[in-house]
Every structure is written in C-alpha cells, then in structure tokens.
Structure 1
Amino acid sequence: MTISELEEYFKNAPKPEEPLYLNPATKINNIDHFLESHFIPLRINPDSRVNQSLLFRLKALKLLIESN
C-alpha cells in the first residue's frame, strides 16, 4: 500500500476512541496528530530507511481500525 493510498484511507476511515493502544508500548492520545506527524516525513522522503517505522505504525493502525 502506498503512502497516498494510506492518506486516502485515513481521510475516510472511522476514528476510534482515544486513547488508543497501537501496541503495549505505543499509546495514541491524538489520532490526527499521530497521522500528521507520521505523514509529513513520509511525504518529504518516502524511501528513507528511518521513515520505515512510521509506515509500519500507520499500517498497524489501519489494521487495528479494520479489525474493529
């Protein structure tokens, strides 16, 4: 899934209640802030290895929303 496809998905996806635990170590208090803070670096440099963890967390959030 591309970054633009993920952005489009999150524009239309239902927002779960906050706070949300992505995993035991990642608590999301503000989903909009989470999304923006992950998409900005990915837009600037999508191929950076440093940004791959951001992409992983966005995909994990998508799976969590779809499972509920």
Structure 2
Amino acid sequence: MTIQELEEWFSKAPKPVMPVMLNAATKVNDYEQFLDSHFSPLKAHPTAKINQPLLIRLEMMKLIIESNI
C-alpha cells in the first residue's frame, strides 16, 4: 500500500479506542498525534530507509483497526 493510500484509508477508518498496543513495547495514547507523527516524515522523505519503521507501525495500526471492525 502506498503512503497516499494509507493516508486515505486512515481518513475514512473508525478511530480505535485508546490506548492501543501495537505490540508488547509500543503503546499509542493519542491517535491523531500518532498519525501526524508518522505521515509527516513519510510524506517528506518517502524513500528514506530510516522511515520504514513508521510505515510498519501504520500498517500494524491498520491491521488492528480492521480486526476490530
């Protein structure tokens, strides 16, 4: 999924009940801040390897939301 497709998906997706545990070590308390802090660097530098964990966490959040719909 492209960054643009992910951004569009999240704009239409239901907001999850906070907090969300992405994994045993990653807890998300603020959904809007999570999205902003992940999409901003990805849009600025989409191919930078340092941003790949951001993409992975967004995909994890997407899977969690989809599993709870």
Superposition pairs of residues 1-68 of structure 1, within 5 angstroms:
1-68=1-68
Q: Which amino acid aligns with 2:13?
A: A
Once the two structures are superposed, residues 37-62 of structure 1 have per-residue CA deviations (whole angstroms, 9 ceiling, x without a partner) of 00000000000000000000000100
Name structure 1 gaps, 5 residues minimum.
none
Once the two structures are superposed, residues 14-50 of structure 1 have per-residue CA deviations (whole angstroms, 9 ceiling, x without a partner) of 0111111111100000000000000000000000000
CA RMSD of aligned residues (A): 0.4
Equivalent-residue separation in structure 2 for 1:56 and 1:25 (angstroms): 14
For these two proteins, the number of residue pairs brought into alignment is: 68
Secondary structure of 1:39's aligned partner = helix
The CA deviation at 1:66 is 0.4
TM-score (norm 2): 0.96
Q: Which amino acid aligns with 1:65?
A: I
